[in-house]
A and B are shown apart, each in its own frame.
Chain A
């Protein structure tokens, strides 16, 4: 099965769940006085659910496997690309999101940029580390001090 068709079927499933919620769950919770309105919270979602189901079928029926692309990225040749690096960077981004509060903005950011560059093959850490430090420091100043958006700079155990 082509990737197009798989995506269309996944989308179809999501539309069915969305449609079920719109047709059967949302209206049950509607306050009686709201039922006199010509538009309910479920009206637009109901239309969208039908449109979604139709478009998912349309894609699933018309999807065709084209020739493998020689130029550009083709999912059928994923092994030819640096998939390990991409997966490592996605993992790193997830770790960054989880580490931002406990480890503080500056430590997490310096580590994220340095490890990111290292993953991609950069070994000049004497350049990466100071650049990452300056970026993290100046951005922290902008966000916390100028914009007033809270960003803990140091790890939780530093007491700051």
Chain B
């Protein structure tokens, strides 16, 4: 193993490979900022370039740089303009955007960069040490456990169920789950709730819904009330990039916990960075002290650090099944698998034995990609954050344009734009009535996976007996119930305590 790590180190740290990773990070960051272009599409674009390089290690190093760059780029648009381009950065916008609105855009981007770096780095170390052992654990997870895991992911909605908001949060989640049932379900091969509209055959697109729920209402609110465009004393606050000692002390345990949790979720094929980010957010909110919990959703550094760490750690974790079993656990790793095969490398249990230089250089380059990303992006943050100092008369038409382009690129269909405008108007009305919109998006993202895994489990067990027959499923479902009910219980107990003291 030591020999392998050494081979990986010498390959990854050659001048040409460092240039590859720098180039990859830059390309990934800039293209990733465009809503609609997630890591998956950017890697797909870069595959021909990578294959033309010829050397599998260099090609994979370039793609790893692009991957991490794209993830950070996606977080940037979530934080600055509330436009999460990919599902895994939805949770980033919950606290990242409120921070930007308070004039702390620079700090939010720094927290995101540092958390991503830490999550990716700890993930890479875990990958280095535990990859072969974890591959067998991942196979223990069946569809029943995945179903339970999705239910745990849904418990993130509790974060938006503030006082008097529980009913609204539940209603929005159900609305999101209902939207996810529109279109053709993989398991049933029959279109549902399409009303005969051909464009709805494949269901609503995530990107359209995300833009309609987050970016569009925010842009309309900025138009309605020009005072909202003021993000504090712009220029002076954007320089305020540094994380204070107190903030560092608060986010350090979050980063530690979420690196491990995110990595473990990433290891399971199919769970991925989205679930890891929602779950990371939910767990951190639940274990935070009462005062800190109240800050979640309003610009909490912990609320930003949790999903950012978890999604990066999960991205690293998703390499475990890819490299050791040849199973791509996510869309992005599926594309990487294609790239590996094009480069004459077959991932699987033999990879570590047959091509140790590729195996270890990929792992080392992931760490290198994280490091380069941090070095490159920290100096760029003040310039990226300057986007918010552009006068609103210029900024708003551009936000609207990029929102529309995100939906167009995602589906290559102009009808999608009309759908976006319609859903955006509905979302604005819902926001006016104080309905929390994140639960709707969480419901939509998890809905399809939830139903697929539920249906598969029901078919395997010929009924709902899997819930009590599989201890891990039951345990996860109990955890979900606890995550949902614990905040409610605490509030009730606090209320009772207050009554007694009064």
Contacts and interface: CB of A to CB of B under 8 A. Distances in A.
Interface residues of A, number: 66
A113 B398 contact: yes
Nearest to A51: B174
Nearest to A147: B45
Nearest to A56: B171
A58 B169 CA distance: 11
B417 A122 contact: no
Contact of A135 (B192, B398, B429, B433): B398
Interface size class of B (residues with CB under 8 A): 35 or more
B41 interface: yes
Contact of A55 (B170, B185, B432): B170
A112 B394 contact: no
Contacts of A43: 455, 458
Contacts of B223: 82, 85-86, 89, 120
Contacts of B429: 3, 7
B35 to A, nearest CB: 12
Interface string A41-62: 1011100100110011011001
B458 A90 contact: no
Contacts of B462: 38
B468 interface: no
Q: Is the interface of B mostly helix, strand, loop or mixed?
A: helix
A55 to B, nearest CB: 4
A93 B170 CA distance: 31
Contact of A73 (B181, B221, B409, B425): B221
B454 interface: yes
A59 B168 CA distance: 6
A138 to B, nearest CB: 11
A128 B170 contact: no
A100 interface: yes
A131 B397 CA distance: 12
A33 interface: no
B432 A73 contact: yes
A10 B131 CA distance: 51
A139 to B, nearest CB: 7
A11 interface: yes
Given A81-B225, A90-B425, A113-B397, A44 B433 contact: no
A134 to B, nearest CB: 12
B393 A45 contact: no
A135 B400 CA distance: 13
Contacts of B220: 86, 89-90
A142 B45 CA distance: 11
B167 interface: yes
Contacts of B224: 73, 78, 81-83, 85-86
Contact of A41 (B175, B190, B401): B190
B433 A150 contact: no
Interface of B: 31, 41, 45, 164, 167-168, 170-171, 174-175, 177-178, 181, 185, 187-188, 190, 192-193, 219-221, 223-226, 228, 391-394, 396-398, 400-401, 404-405, 408-409, 412, 414, 417-418, 420-421, 424-425, 429-430, 432-435, 451, 454-455, 458-459, 462-463
11 contacts: A37-B459, A41-B185, A51-B177, A83-B224, A89-B220, A97-B420, A98-B418, A116-B400, A122-B391, A143-B409, A149-B409
Given A48-B181, A82-B224, 4 more contacts: A41-B190, A59-B171, A82-B223, A122-B394
> 6 closest A-B pairs (Cβ-Cβ)?
A116-B397, A97-B417, A122-B393, A81-B224, A55-B171, A41-B188
